[in-house]
Amino acid sequence: MTNPDRSMTPDDKLHLLDLRYLRMATIWSENSYCRRRKVGALIVKDKMIISDGYNGTPAGFENVCEDEHGDTRPYVLHAEANAITKVARSNNSSSGATLYVTTSPCMECSKLIIQAGIRRVVYSELYRIHDGLDLLERAGVETVHAPLPDPGCETSGL
Ligand SMILES: [Zn+2]
């Protein structure tokens, strides 16, 4: 008889954990009132979720992300930026943390990720523009593409 847990390598366990946090980030993205794209992010350090975020307008602004033409308003904060700035208001530090985000980060968020000391970024959906990921890799931040299995798939083990 094989015990599936014991036969798992540390890499398998990490991948499973990555997928679980990404699923949580996906659920968190449902908080977003943006209509064009809903993005969720979590910051995890030492197996603790120290922050979370979703894309939306700054505090005090009306909860509408798009203008009358359906374009995203320039002051909308991305999920990563909201998660990182939430850490800044807490007693936690994002240094050495892992960021989980449903869509790969853009250039602006990647700059914040580097400056926040985040060492690892795990994302489920690859955005069509890759310049943010390229910047992260140049800065030595580990990037991991972990597509989520089809939610209808019952053999995923999740
Ligand atoms: Zn961004």
pLDDT category, 156, cuts 50, 70, 90?
very low
Q: 89 C-alpha vs ligand 1 centroid, how far in Å? A: 20
Is residue 154 part of the annotated active site? The answer reads: no
Centre a 10 Å sphere on the Cβ of residue 110 and count the other Cβ atoms it contains: 25
This prediction's pTM: 0.90
Q: 35 C-alpha vs ligand 1 centroid, how far in Å? A: 16
Mean pLDDT of 48-59: 97
Q: At what angle do helices 79-88 and 107-115 cross, to 10 degrees?
A: 20
Q: 153 C-alpha vs ligand 1 centroid, how far in Å? A: 30
65-121 tens-digit pLDDT: 999 999 999 999 999 999 999 999 999 999 999 999 999 999 999 999 999 999 999
pLDDT of residue 7: 81
pLDDT at residue 154 is higher than 70:
no
30, 68, 80, 154: the catalytic one is: 80
Q: 105 C-alpha vs ligand 1 centroid, how far in Å? A: 5
Centre a 10 Å sphere on the Cβ of residue 69 and count the other Cβ atoms it contains: 5
pLDDT at residue 64 is higher than 70:
yes
Report in angstroms the alpha-carbon separations of 76 from 35, 50, 59, 122, 124: 12, 22, 10, 22, 22
Q: Which of 3-7, 43-47, 96-100, 141-145 has the lowest mean pLDDT?
A: 3-7
Q: 39 C-alpha vs ligand 1 centroid, how far in Å? A: 9
Give the whole-angstrom CA distance, residue 47 versus residue 36: 32
The kind and range of the H/E element at 53 are strand 48-54
Q: 109 C-alpha vs ligand 1 centroid, how far in Å? A: 4
| Higher-scoring residue by pLDDT: 156, 88 | 88
Mean pLDDT of 20-27: 97
Strand partners, 42: 52, 100
pLDDT category, 3, cuts 50, 70, 90?
low
